[in-house]
Chain A
Amino acid sequence: MAVVTFVSHDGETHAASLEEGQSLMQVATNNAVPGIDGDCGGEAACGTCHVIVDPRWSDRVGPSGADEEQMLAMNPEREPTSRLSCQMVVSEAWDGLTVRLPEFQM
């Protein structure tokens, strides 16, 4: 089973198994990963599911979309590989993916 690892700001890790077709935000909330709120339910409206993708994975998971980019643009914790996890539809091929969480969500 494909597994993704969420690393909290203070270094704690949470592994969660992926279900193809879900968003990475759903994977996090269904697995009680702390630090991912997903307040708007996946509409890219709130910015509370910010993750920073391990740069080695950024090509495979792809870049942010236009709306997502605007939501991230004003975020002080934004990094080059930042994404809103609600906009990332997961695939079994993402087995081993690691993402970091920012200190604060929006």
Chain B
Amino acid sequence: MSVQRAVIVGASHAGAQVAASLRQEGWAGEVVLVGDESALPCQRPPLSKAYLAGKSTLAELAIRSAEFYARQEIRLLGATVERIDRSAGRVSLSTGESLAYDKLALCTGARPRRLRVPGAHLAGVHYLRTAADVDLIRATAKPGSRAVVVGGGYVGLETAASLRALGLDVTVLEATERVLERVTAPEVSAFFDRIHREEGVCIQTSALVEALAGDARVREVVLSSGESVPADLVIVGIGIEPNTELAASAGLVIDNGVVIDDRARTSDPDIVAAGDCTSRDIARYGSRVRLECVPSAGEQAKAAAATISGKCREIRALPWFWSDQYDVKLQIAGLNTGYDEVVLSGDPNRDRDFTCFYLRQGELIAADCVNRPRDFVFSKRLLTQATQGVGRAELPLVTVSDLGA
């Protein structure tokens, strides 16, 4: 029998984990990891944090070393996959070559949502997704220059914190009434609003960007209120969109992401998918969800590698997330979708550590833990293992100082 070949499209967190897990699952065939970013697969979360703030190098962010891929006989190929021919079992590359596959893993990720206003094309307007994006930002981010961050979500706020660390004047423009509106309770939004103001960031909410003005280079951000905010640098962080075009043009089922089941299988038995490009029905939430996070990418990738190797490993882990801003570490266990009650441990209006537990019909569904790793581990374990709902009475409503920690 000829040697089988698994081709992985996309060399970020999901792709790198599929490659590593294929070897752990005993896949004896070839593994080709195709990516269009120049460096080794690198940790993406630190890009808006330590890397932007100049505290780490790209080499330090490599998910695994070059020697790892060599030893594991994983071939890294720098190219973009342009087309999948499912009937022939081949992918066409931007280099003009084509590559046969027996099994294909789509880990195409996501791209930043573009700001669609006049002037969005001006020099000095940036997005933040890749190391190359951050290199461009760093080249112009000088102490004292004025940065405007469009979007008060996690990436926007992390970017604001990193730019403050570099000594810039920073304004965050958020279109809704509060930062993190889509993802957290008002109490948590108020906390992050306060922290950023204490760190010297100017936050404007209900601020709709109407245009970016300047000659060749951006000079100011014009709001729908008529107000203008001066800017030497604009960073847009208004969400991401899954890269589904390749899968869609190959005829795979798409629904706000490449549709996968709980073993990472797409609608083609020879094709799996993992990471930010996928959407999946999650029984726990009773809906189809597209998760935008590294832990989920890793979990899906492990399932995908098992499926390719003819084994069964279901995606079961609880979704979780984290964010670092200044000295604040936020860890989130579960999804708070549909919550009808929050219970606070600690005082978000005063402290720099607290936990916001989210309940639905009296049962714990998620927790935002700010500088409370202990509450995070507690919540994650409980949500993962509890066979019955966890009620308010079981929550650890003590402060860290009470624990003498």
Q: Do A and B bind each other?
A: yes
Q: Which residues of A contact B (CB under 8 A)?
A: 26, 29-32, 34, 37, 39-47, 66-67, 69-71, 73-75, 106
Query: What 8 A-B pairs have minimum CB-CB distances, sorted nearest first?
Result: A70-B373, A74-B377, A41-B43, A70-B374, A45-B322, A30-B65, A71-B373, A30-B68
- Pick from B61, B295, B378: contact of A46, CB under 8 Å: B295
- Pick from A26, A37, A44, A74: contact of B378, CB under 8 Å: A74
Q: With a CB–CB cut-off of 8 A, which chain B residues contact A42?
A: 43
- Pick from A34, A39, A67: contact of B294, CB under 8 Å: A39
Q: C-beta contact mask, B116-143 vs A, less than 8 Å → 1, else 0?
A: 0000000000000000000000000000
| Distance between Cα atoms of A37 and B46 in the complex (Å) | 18
Rounded to whole Å, the gap between the CB of B347 and the closest CB of chain A is 19
| Distance between Cα atoms of A67 and B295 in the complex (Å) | 19
Q: With a CB–CB cut-off of 8 A, which chain B residues contact A75?
A: 377
- Pick from A32, A43, A66, A71: contact of B72, CB under 8 Å: A32
| Distance between Cα atoms of A29 and B64 in the complex (Å) | 7
Q: Considering the complex, give the chain A residue whose CB is closest to the CB of B44.
A: A41
| Distance between Cα atoms of A96 and B224 in the complex (Å) | 65
- A45-B329, A71-B373 known; A66 and B294 CB under 8 Å? no
Known: A30-B67, A32-B68, A74-B374. 14 other contacts (CB 8 A): A29-B63, A29-B64, A39-B295, A40-B295, A41-B43, A42-B43, A43-B45, A43-B324, A45-B329, A46-B295, A66-B405, A69-B405, A70-B374, A71-B373
- Which secondary structure characterizes the binding site on chain A? loop
Q: With a CB–CB cut-off of 8 A, which chain B residues contact A39?
A: 294-295, 298
Q: With a CB–CB cut-off of 8 A, which chain B residues contact A69?
A: 405
Q: With a CB–CB cut-off of 8 A, which chain A residues contact B23?
A: 32
Rounded to whole Å, the gap between the CB of B380 and the closest CB of chain A is 7
| Contacts across chains A and B counted by CB atoms under 8 Å | 68
B113 at the interface (CB under 8 A from A): no
Q: Which residues of B contact A (CB under 8 A)?
A: 20, 23-24, 43, 45-46, 61, 63-65, 67-68, 71-72, 294-295, 298, 320, 322, 324, 329, 331, 372-374, 376-378, 380-381, 405
Would you call A41 and B294 a contact (CB within 8 A)? yes
Q: With a CB–CB cut-off of 8 A, which chain A residues contact B45?
A: 40-41, 43
- A30-B68, A34-B24 known; A43 and B322 CB under 8 Å? yes
Q: With a CB–CB cut-off of 8 A, which chain B residues contact A44?
A: 373
Q: With a CB–CB cut-off of 8 A, which chain B residues contact A71?
A: 373-374, 376-377
Q: With a CB–CB cut-off of 8 A, which chain B residues contact A41?
A: 43, 45-46, 61, 63, 294
Can you identify 11 A-B contacts, CB atoms within 8 angstroms? A29-B64, A32-B20, A39-B294, A39-B295, A41-B294, A42-B43, A45-B329, A67-B373, A71-B377, A74-B374, A74-B378
Q: With a CB–CB cut-off of 8 A, which chain A residues contact B61?
A: 41
| Distance between Cα atoms of A32 and B71 in the complex (Å) | 9
Q: Considering the complex, give the chain B residue whose CB is closest to the CB of A45.
A: B322
- A39-B298, A41-B46 known; A29 and B68 CB under 8 Å? yes
Would you call B374 and A73 a contact (CB within 8 A)? yes
- A39-B298, A46-B295, A73-B374 known; A30 and B64 CB under 8 Å? yes
- Pick from A40, A70, A74: contact of B322, CB under 8 Å: A40
- Pick from A45, A66, A74: contact of B381, CB under 8 Å: A74
